[in-house]
Amino acid sequence: MTQESPTAQETQERASRVRKQITSFILIAIVMFFAGLTSAYVVSMSGGYWVDIKVPRSFLFGTAAILLSSLFAQLALNAARKDRSGPVAPFLIVTLLLGLVFTWYQFQGWDELTSKGNFLISKILDNKGVYGEDYTIRFQGVPLIQENGQFYHPDDVARARSLNADLDEQKNTSSSFFFALTGAHLAHLAFGLLSVAVMVVMALQHRYTTVDHAGLWSGVMYWHFLGALWIYLLLFLVFVH
């Protein structure tokens, strides 16, 4: 008894399931990676000196861009599902452009950070911003007092012991984590931008149809995930940092 060969539709459905499974595995791996980073971040905050850094305003503008880009990506997917190939490419092009706008705001935010003395590797006293507004130094969770360029523990009412000598030896771990988190996200976004660019080419060739758009689905889901991941990181930096 011979086994019947799978039909073209069955082959397509099987390929679609495999692609969705691979996409799910990739997203789970990224979630675990960032969960590890943010967990290490929280542990580092628990002891010694820590710098609270104000989130750059450019990051907020970039957030609007990536959320809007996610909307256009979904519109492209909806159009493909309805077998309307015409709008797919334009929607994806807008998604790509907004992704580049988000990237530009990321670099603007990093430039704002470095202009105020926050680098990937730096010391706490390298900060040049306004104390209490751009940054605050804490010791075991307690904000320090700054007077005439000197830092004191709030319990040191007489201001008898300046902590500057201690602070001069301390690395700005907070700044390092800030760049690590946002930089890792941007690295994953770079892959997303490349994926969107490939999808644009495919859409211009009218490769996405009602029955065959698994590649578009995977790319759009990954793009949505990047937007959600950024919102998580931003909220983490604003409320936990």
* pLDDT tens digits along 99-112: 999 999 999 999 99
Taking alpha carbons only, the member of 104, 101, 89, 123 closest to residue 205 is: 89
212 inside domain: yes
CATH of the domain at 75: 1.20.120.80
**Residue 101 maps to a domain:** yes
154 domain residue, yes or no: no
Residue with tokens 């006293």: 125
Q: Determine contact, residues 106/41, Cβ cutoff 8 Å.
A: no
pLDDT tens, residue by residue, 91-146: 999 999 999 999 999 999 999 999 999 999 999 999 988 999 999 999 988 999 99
Please indicate, yes or no, if residue 189 is contained in any of the structural domains.
yes
What per-residue confidence (pLDDT) applies to 217?
94
How many domains does the structure of the chain reveal?
1
Flag whether 22 is in a domain: no
Does the pLDDT value for residue 1 go beyond 60? no
Domain that holds residue 182: 58-132+172-239
Nearest to 233 by CA among 196, 187, 202: 187
Compute the average pLDDT of residues 83-95: 95
The whole-number average pLDDT for the span 22-33 is: 94
Any residues with CB less than 8 A from the CB of 36 and at least 6 apart, and which? Answer: none
Backbone angles phi, psi at 68, to 5 degrees: -65, -35
Task: Evaluate if pTM is beyond 0.85.
Answer: yes
Residue 79: pLDDT above 60? yes
70 belongs to a structural domain:
yes
Report yes or no on 128 lying in a domain. Answer: yes
Nearest one of 147, 117, 153 to 135, comparing CA atoms: 117
> How many angstroms from the chain centroid is the CA of residue 115?
21
